Chain A
Amino acid sequence: MSTVVKKQKARNPLGESWGRRTLNAMRAHWQIYIIILLPIVWYAIFAYMPMAGLQLAFKKYMPRRGIWGSPWVSFKNFQNVFIDPAFLRSVWRTLSINILRLVFVFPFPIILALLLNEMRAKRYKSVLQTVMTFPNFLSWVIVSSILTNVLSADGLANSFIRMLGGSTVDFLGSEKLFQPMLYITDIWKSSGWSMIVYLAAISGIDQDQYEASEIDGANHWQKLLHITIPNLMPTIIVMFILATGNLMSAGFDQIFNLSNSATKNVAEILDMYIYRITFQSAPDYGLSTAISLMRSVVNMALLLLADRGSKLMGGNGLFA
């Protein structure tokens, strides 16, 4: 520490100490502190106070004594969590749904972007893009209401199936179809929007590469395989990291609005479980906070792991 100070002194002709210089710098920038004051206050109250509230995970919550006054129970909440078989089932279900999401839903926007990139008719392209991106701006409440209409027994899809001679399919009320419906509706709602990121990346590719390859006689497929896709890789990796970081939490809005009493057994992902034990039966706030805390820690670990992995693979990583 002292050597650092000495070095700084040597560099500073006025001989000011580190503390003094900091103070001067703060004084010189006092207006900035005022500007960021409001957002800082917001973060302190509505982001960090709840984080401090995570101590409930180690406490038995007593409404009269509040978060800070409730007694500590060390790891008892965590032990209770693992007693409940529904908890482990929900964890497993969350992971399997979101991993399958990565398999089925994640590649879709990439394919859409590559296809749209092949098209030349500009006007039509932008019409398609407008249509495909629109559902992303609707809430899952709206989307699931639309789907209940289209997929109901008398609805469009089933009328069509019957016209072709098939029998009525209970799309939203069957346990077997629940997971496939999640992936399909997810693609329906959000893949057009996710496509935009890849489109931007494609339009950022250096055109010289294509021209050079044309001179070398590359055909369409070769250009796609050896120029477009390799250039897309960094974007794909970043999006993949982001998706991995959400493995434990993705899909609550969707599942909460799409599930019903017929599918509730296969729909209870971790967030649904937390919601149920918090707001529907006799609430144990300590228990649900303990689960939220574990979920957040696992999410963070996954994110950092994926980030490290992408760096090992030679990618940029998320925070670079």
Chain B
Amino acid sequence: MTAIAKTHKPGKLMKRKDPLQIVAAVILTLFALLIAVPFYNVLIVSITGQAEYLRAGGLMLFPSQPTFDSFKRLFQNNLLWTGYRSTLTIVAIGMPMNVLLTFCMAYGLSRKGWPGRKIVFVLVLITMIFNGGIVPMYLLMKELKLLDTLWSVIFAGGMNTFYMIITKNLIESLPESLIESAHLDGANEWTILFRIVMPLSKPILATIVLFYAVDRWNEWYNSMIFLTTPNKFTLQLVLRNIVINSEMQGAAASSGNVSASAAQFSMGIKMCAVIMTMLPIMCVYPFLQKHFAKGIMVGAIKA
């Protein structure tokens, strides 16, 4: 079958015309649509007015009268901007700290011959399957006087042991001779780490940076537990509050005497908040996707 197809010089897409390929394409396309459509719908609802939304429901391709009212309403909410400030602070301080700690630990563990290496490695592995849980962590932050400061969120997520192990495995797969010869040339460990190992592991460095950045961006649980002042809340937490608060407003509007036109279009504002929260990730994701995939592949192959 394939031999015949080849002699007929098939088109680019149809090298092999077996039905399985078409079935696969159809199923996967449906699944991808199921993922993409909700995002498109969020965008549509965010630029639709309440009257039109109530008339047409969620089932529209594009609003006949697009409006940015919901965005304007949202931008009046000061918490959105303080949320951006908190999240950007956490990303800007936390992420470099994550990467530095991760690379230092990974490099140290990848070097052999120093006493205590095994013990340190086991102690680090234990933290992957066993942890103190939220109460001791909360009390620790309280004792360190870090509660209700961004530092609590930054320090609580200081390292991800899983990423560290991936990094360590990758450093170990670098040619040993490079490091050895650097040693013989009298380079010290810092020079080796920052001048040789880090540049050589650029792909994993990029991946680790991205993973940490996304984790930091998505920070909400620790901020919910540790932070109490609303203008310190991270963006995700602000989004959570907006969704819950406008849910309550919506309930009040539908049960009470508020006229539909005067009431805020709560779903629209919610979706504007969603867009504002995921916009950065959405913008960078298509370009960086290959790095993300590379990271998990390195981890998977080594695991």
Could you tell me which A residues sit within 8 Å of B by CB distance? Answer: 22, 25-26, 28-29, 31-36, 38-40, 42-43, 45-54, 56, 66-67, 112, 115-116, 118-121, 124, 127-135, 137-139, 141-142, 144-150, 152, 154-160, 162-163, 188, 192-193, 196-197, 200-201, 204, 220, 235, 238, 245, 253, 257, 274-275, 278-279, 285, 288-289, 292-293, 295-296, 299-300, 303, 318
- B133-A142 in contact (CB<8A): no
Contact call B156/A39, Cβ cutoff below 8 A: no
Q: For the complex formed, measure the closest distance between the CB of A168 and the CB atoms of chain B, giving whole angstroms.
A: 10
A–B complex contacts, Cβ < 8 Å, 30 sampled: A31-B189, A35-B193, A36-B105, A38-B100, A38-B101, A43-B159, A50-B140, A51-B132, A51-B136, A53-B132, A53-B136, A53-B137, A54-B136, A67-B143, A116-B24, A124-B13, A130-B289, A131-B35, A138-B218, A146-B42, A146-B274, A150-B38, A154-B57, A154-B58, A156-B37, A188-B35, A200-B301, A253-B221, A289-B136, A292-B133
B188 beta carbon closer than 8 Å to chain A: yes
B245 at the A/B interface (Cβ < 8 Å)? no
- Among the listed A34, A39, A50, A141, which residue makes an inter-chain contact with B159, where contact means beta carbons less than 8 Å apart? A39
B31 touches A132 (CB 8 A): yes
> Is the pair A51, B130 in contact by a Cβ cutoff of 8 Å?
yes
B85 within 8 A of A: no
Contact yes or no, A112 B31, CB < 8 A:
yes
Q: Which of A40, A150, A275 meets B58, CB within 8 Å?
A: A150
Judge whether B289 and A133 touch: CB under 8 Å: yes
A-B pair number, CB within 8 angstroms = 274
Inter-chain pairs besides A141-B239, A159-B59, 8 sampled, C-beta below 8 Å? A34-B189, A52-B132, A54-B136, A132-B28, A133-B292, A152-B267, A162-B57, A200-B296
A36, B34: Cβ atoms closer than 8 Å: no
Within 8 A of A (CB), among B273-303: 273-274, 277-278, 281-282, 285-286, 289, 292-293, 296-297, 300-301, 303
How far, in whole Å, are A155 and B120 apart by their CA atoms in the complex?
Answer: 53
Q: With the chains together, A287 CA to B124 CA distance in Å?
A: 27
Contact A147–B38 (Cβ < 8 Å):
yes
Determine how close the nearest CB of chain A comes to the CB of B195; give it in whole angstroms.
14
Q: How far is the CB of B24 from chain A (nearest CB, A)?
A: 4
CB atoms of B190 and A31 under 8 A apart: yes
Distance in angstroms between the alpha carbons of A29 and B31 in the assembled complex: 54
In the complex the two chains form, is A121's CB within 8 Å of B58's CB? no
- Collect the chain A residues with CB atoms within 8 Å of residue B54's CB: 154
Shortest CB-to-CB span from B130 to chain A, Å, is 5
Chain B residues in contact with chain A, CB under 8 A? 12-16, 18, 20-21, 24-25, 27-29, 31-32, 34-39, 41-42, 45, 53-54, 56-59, 100-102, 104-105, 107-109, 111, 113-116, 120, 123-124, 127, 129-137, 139-140, 143, 155-156, 158-159, 164, 188-190, 193, 214, 218, 220-221, 225, 236-237, 239-240, 243, 247, 267, 270-271, 273-274, 277-278, 281-282, 285-286, 289, 292-293, 296-297, 300-301, 303
Measured CA separation A36–B164 after assembly (Å): 12
A51 — which chain B residues lie within 8 A by C-beta?
Answer: 130-132, 136
Given A35-B104, A133-B292, A156:B38 Cβ within 8 A: yes
Which chain B residues lie closer than 8 Å to A40 at the CB level? 105, 120
A84: shortest Cβ distance to chain B, in Å? 17
**Majority DSSP secondary structure for residues of A touching B:** helix
Q: Whose C-beta in chain A lies nearest to the C-beta of B109?
A: A36
In the bound complex, residues from chain A placing their C-beta under 8 Å from that of B113 are 25, 28-29
Select which of A28, A34, A35, A148 is within 8 A of B243 by beta carbon.
A148
In contact, A142 and B236 (Cβ under 8 angstroms): yes
B-side contacts of A25, CB under 8 Å: 113-115
> Which chain A residue shows the least CB distance to B36?
A131
From the candidates A120, A149, A201, name the one contacting B41 in the complex (CB within 8 A). Answer: A149
Contact B239 A142 (CB under 8 A): yes
B270 A32 Cβ-Cβ under 8 A: no
